[in-house]
Chains A and B, each alone.
Chain A
Amino acid sequence: MNHDELIKALYDETLLGNAPRVLELTNTAIESGMGPDTILFDALIPSLEEVGARFERGDYFVPEMLIAGKAMSGALNVLRPLLAETGAASIGTYVMGTVKGDVHDIGKNLVNIMLEGAGFTVIDIGVQAPPEKFIAAIREHKPDIVGMSAFLTTTMPMFKVNIHEITKAGLRDEVIIMVGGAPVTQEYADAVGADGYAADASTAVRLAKDLIKKRRSLVPA
């Protein structure tokens, strides 16, 4: 396979969620001398973008998105150390968790897939994450964004609790905070003092990129 054929095969097999084949092709591409950033930015990310677009249009369904995400994650496990060596920058770090009292993880996982697919480094702190866990993850990973997911009207108030605790820990200015989940609305996100809300995974990724851009333009690195 030449360069273009490899890129196309990686793109196509990721789109189909064929994890073993994507892993195999990733290894083949590396052995052939292809740069890890090329694999990521020319094949995997465009493929996941297409997955997201199809999902948004209603042409792709939850299981298809999940297996595409798994295929991409398998490739990323191989690429991550190589990307670190070449110094290719992640477009941002995102700490993500479902709030305390809430065990729903499908929506969170879909957003994680799309974020990884867009080139973010995602730290998933799981479900039932208490404020302490969000704070510890902020201290450890120094993310650009913290994402909080809640599926129940009764667990949504944890957004406010978490934001309060993050503020008390002196970390509120360090991070952008995004919230989401089935019952969440823009109005609710504003009421709890979040910086962003998105109704679906693709919108969340676009918003995450915009918020980081805006922040970096305000605070010159």
Chain B
Amino acid sequence: MHTVLRSATKTVTIGHDQPFCIIGERINPTGRKQFQLQLRANDLSRLAIDVEQQVSGGADVLDVNMGVPLTDEPALLGRAITMIQTLTDLPICIDSSIIEALQVGLETYQGKALVNSMTGEEDRMDQILPLIKKHGAVIIALPNDATGIPMTVAERMTITEKIVRTVEKYGIPLEDLVIDPLAMPVGADPDSLKVTLETIHSIREKWGLNMTLGASNVSFGLPYRHAINAAFLPAAMSHGLTSAVMDARTPLIVEAVRAADLLLGLDPWGSNWITRFRALEASKAALNTGA
């Protein structure tokens, strides 16, 4: 199954036979005090740095979240999307849990967007899916509902089933549905990622759907987070994860993903891997000669 995302000029395909899709997580004010202050003062200049670092780091798609308290999030998100589309041709993942913000985001965006996200709660699906259909966008859905985050594979599969049926009912092709199988911090529950990996495997077996998750969440509260993130992603990929909202600026993590592409047969003859190596060598050489 191929999930296609587009900007005005560029197409990105997510699939089980494709190299992993890296969705850069950085454009998000959560936990970034300085960035929050700037956004509240309507200063979007920081976006240029965040975009540049993630593009050069190897992102395929950029997540854009403008969730700052006490601001007009829909307006802010609309402006950010317009600005980012002048800075890069990468497709965007419009990230908000406010319907009006998603609406403005989708109206502003040029292309076929990824939308992050909706839960399996019926009222949420009934609010968001008509928007997805209208704009021909792709929706990320989480298998949790009003009762909280289910901690068994069976419960997550049941809610995923409900999501799949509802998406079909709205006449949206399953290619335009991406499931987030929920990755929780391993520091808070030693067994929770086993549930995540098994859920990924089961969803792939049953529907062949594309999947994504917030990968940096797994290392919350622990030291050397980058190494944990770098170990988690290849494990999730080998179970069937096809994309992640993740750190695209740390070479160790991006390299772990690209190496896993190669090892899992998603980068035949290592052509992407070797091209990346040559580019790195070239930029090192340029630095050394002072060019």
Residues of A within 8 A of B (CB): 61-63, 66, 103, 106, 109, 127-128, 152-154, 156, 182-185, 187-188, 191
Q: Decide if A153 touches B147 in the complex (CB within 8 Å).
A: no
Interface size in chain B (residues, C-beta < 8 A): 22
Which stretch in B5-13, B46-54, B63-71 binds the other chain?
A: B63-71
Residues of B within 8 A of A (CB): 30-31, 67-70, 73, 96-98, 144, 146-149, 185, 187-188, 220-223
On whether A182 and B31 interact (CB within 8 A), knowing A62-B221, A106-B188, A152-B67, the answer reads yes
On whether A152 and B97 interact (CB within 8 A), knowing A62-B188, A63-B187, the answer reads yes
CA separation between A128 and B69, bound complex, in Å?
Answer: 20
Determine the chain A residues whose CB is within 8 A of the CB of B96 once the complex forms.
Answer: 154
Minimum CB–CB distance from A55 to chain B (whole Å) comes to 9
List 20 A-B pairs, Cβ < 8 Å: A61-B221, A61-B222, A61-B223, A62-B185, A62-B187, A62-B221, A63-B187, A63-B188, A103-B149, A106-B185, A106-B188, A109-B188, A128-B147, A152-B97, A153-B30, A153-B68, A153-B73, A182-B30, A183-B67, A184-B69
Determine the chain B residues whose CB is within 8 A of the CB of A62 once the complex forms.
Answer: 185, 187-188, 220-222
Interface centre among B67, B69, B144 (most CB of A within 10 A): B69
Q: Decide if B69 touches A188 in the complex (CB within 8 Å).
A: yes
Interface centre among A103, A182, A185 (most CB of B within 10 A): A103
Determine the chain B residues whose CB is within 8 A of the CB of A109 once the complex forms.
Answer: 188
Q: Decide if A106 touches B220 in the complex (CB within 8 Å).
A: yes
Determine the chain B residues whose CB is within 8 A of the CB of A188 once the complex forms.
Answer: 69-70
Chain B residue at minimal CB-CB distance from A58: B223
CA separation between A183 and B98, bound complex, in Å?
Answer: 15
Determine the chain B residues whose CB is within 8 A of the CB of A182 once the complex forms.
Answer: 30-31
Minimum CB–CB distance from B172 to chain A (whole Å) comes to 23
CA separation between A103 and B187, bound complex, in Å?
Answer: 17
Determine the chain B residues whose CB is within 8 A of the CB of A128 once the complex forms.
Answer: 146-148
